């Protein structure tokens, strides 16, 4: 391998652009190629980031022997085909969340990774934020004691992305707010607590705001503007309850849109302490010498979580560390999401 890890970025939309900016903060790598089906977009992005090679067909990019690793930053339905083709071409893969459309496709990705002996890092950027890292450290040091309940709340009052486009078309996205944003928090909840064994799920998903596209009132839209001739056949609200054996439980509420104020946090309750991820300050609620104590944690907050992800991926490719989020973990999250959708559809508790 060359001295610097040579990166190709596939998909130059919102997150592909973030990947490019973030790789540029990692001196041990160099972006050598970019690809997008939109010729104008890939040309503009290559110019912006000073990248020499451009492609409109990812197969061509993958043939280039001067690329060691690729970032897959395309709509969810293209995650599996591109990740599998990349492994077959002998590239390491950084795959954006969610892993893919469902768990069986996730298993195909892992098979391709194993056959190639290359690395897969999942794009679980929330793990890299300063408060997530601080909370994980608290938990690893036993400060929360035995964890028995996690509350996940991820509410957007009006936050449907790309209304009518691929985000809201089930065949292309695999689902709505649940697969798009809850995946981050479900991963974060399992990673921070080490509870990687979801066993049973009872849930319900709803589609209340996006269906009547013309009457969806919003202030801003990620991946907008809306395409009123497009499709909305996904969830915009979900609530549910997950068991981790008989040891711990997780309740969640997630909304792309609903009539409640926006808020997002994960609250973790243990028998020695409780803590929230997602607040301005991270405070451990505990007891000290027989008294209740609120301990505010002090730590550096100026972490660029995306750059941290790239740094870890590049180091792993160079054999200097581990990937920041594994494919196996991505698959557990995928299985959990599948079970949530199934529980809603079949109106019953699902055993994983």
Ligand X SMILES: NC(=O)c1ccc[n+]([C@@H]2O[C@H](COP(=O)([O-])OP(=O)(O)OC[C@H]3O[C@@H](n4cnc5c(N)ncnc54)[C@H](O)[C@@H]3O)[C@@H](O)[C@H]2O)c1
Q: Which residues bind ligand X (CB under 6 A)?
A: 10-16, 35-38, 41, 58, 73-76, 78, 96-97, 123, 125, 180, 223
Q: Which single residue brings its beta carbon nearest to ligand X?
A: 13
β-strands 291-296, 283-288: how paired? antiparallel
Distance in Å, CB of 47 to ligand X, minimum:
15
| Of residues 74 and 269, the one with the C-beta less far from ligand X | 74
Distances (CA, A) of 340 to 9, 100, 184: 32, 15, 15
| Of residues 68 and 187, the one with the C-beta less far from ligand X | 187
| Of residues 145 and 224, the one with the C-beta less far from ligand X | 224
Distance in Å, CB of 255 to ligand X, minimum:
17
Distance in Å, CB of 16 to ligand X, minimum:
6
| Of residues 156 and 243, the one with the C-beta less far from ligand X | 156
Taking Cα atoms as reference points, which of 352, 347, 339, 13 lies closest to residue 175?
339
Taking Cα atoms as reference points, which of 345, 155, 350 lies closest to residue 236?
155
Joined together, the tokens standing for residue 250 give 């997780």
β-strands 5-10, 69-72: how paired? parallel
Rounded to 5°, the CA angle 330-97-211 comes to 120
Distant-in-sequence, close-in-space partners of 3: CB < 8 Å, separation ≥ 6: none
Distance in Å, CB of 69 to ligand X, minimum:
16
Distance in Å, CB of 342 to ligand X, minimum:
21
| Of residues 54 and 76, the one with the C-beta less far from ligand X | 76
Distance in Å, CB of 41 to ligand X, minimum:
5
User: Tokens 């996205």 sit at which residue?
Assistant: 173
DSSP helix/strand/coil, 237: strand
| Of residues 33 and 250, the one with the C-beta less far from ligand X | 33
| Calpha distance 67→47 (Å, rounded) | 19
Are 309 and 170 in contact, with CB atoms under 8 Å apart?
Answer: no
| Of residues 97 and 118, the one with the C-beta less far from ligand X | 97
Within 13 Å and on the Cβ side, how many CA atoms surround 264? Answer: 18
Distance in Å, CB of 113 to ligand X, minimum:
18
């Amino acid at each position: 391998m060359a001295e610097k890890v040579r990166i190709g970025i596939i998909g130059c939309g919102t997150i592909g652009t973030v990947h490019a900016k973030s790789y540029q903060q990692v001196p041990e790598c160099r972006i050598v190629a970019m690809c997008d089906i939109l010729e104008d977009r890939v040309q503009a992005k290559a110019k912006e980031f000073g990248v020499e090679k451009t492609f409109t067909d990812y197969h061509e990019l993958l043939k280039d022997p001067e690329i060691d690793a690729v970032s897959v930053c395309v709509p969810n339905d293209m995650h599996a085909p591109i990740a599998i083709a990349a492994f077959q071409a002998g590239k390491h893969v950084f795959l954006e969340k969610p892993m893919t459309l469902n768990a069986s496709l996730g298993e195909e990705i892992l098979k391709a990774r194993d056959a190639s002996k290359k690395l897969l890092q999942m794009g679980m950027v929330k793990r890299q934020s300063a408060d997530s890292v601080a909370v994980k450290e608290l938990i690893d040091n036993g400060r929360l004691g035995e964890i028995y309940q996690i509350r996940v709340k991820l509410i957007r009052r009006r936050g449907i992305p790309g209304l009518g486009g691929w985000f809201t078309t089930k065949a292309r996205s695999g689902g709505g707010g649940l697969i798009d944003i809850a995946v981050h928090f479900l991963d974060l909840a399992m990673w921070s607590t080490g509870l990687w064994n979801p066993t049973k799920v009872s849930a319900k998903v709803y589609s209340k705001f996006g269906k009547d596209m013309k009457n969806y009132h919003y202030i801003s839209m990620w991946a907008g503007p809306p395409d009123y001739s497009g499709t909305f056949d996904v969830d915009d609200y979900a609530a549910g309850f997950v068991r981790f054996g008989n040891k711990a439980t997780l309740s969640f509420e997630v909304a792309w849109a609903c009539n409640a104020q926006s808020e997002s946090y994960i609250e973790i309750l243990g028998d020695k302490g409780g803590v929230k991820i997602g607040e301005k300050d991270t405070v451990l609620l505990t007891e000290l010498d027989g008294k209740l104590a609120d301990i505010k944690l002090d730590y550096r907050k100026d972490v660029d979580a995306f750059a941290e992800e790239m740094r870890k991926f590049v180091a792993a490719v160079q054999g200097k560390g581990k990937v920041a989020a594994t494919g196996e973990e991505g698959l557990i999250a995928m299985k959990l999401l599948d079970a949530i959708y199934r529980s809603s559809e079949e109106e019953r508790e699902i055993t994983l």
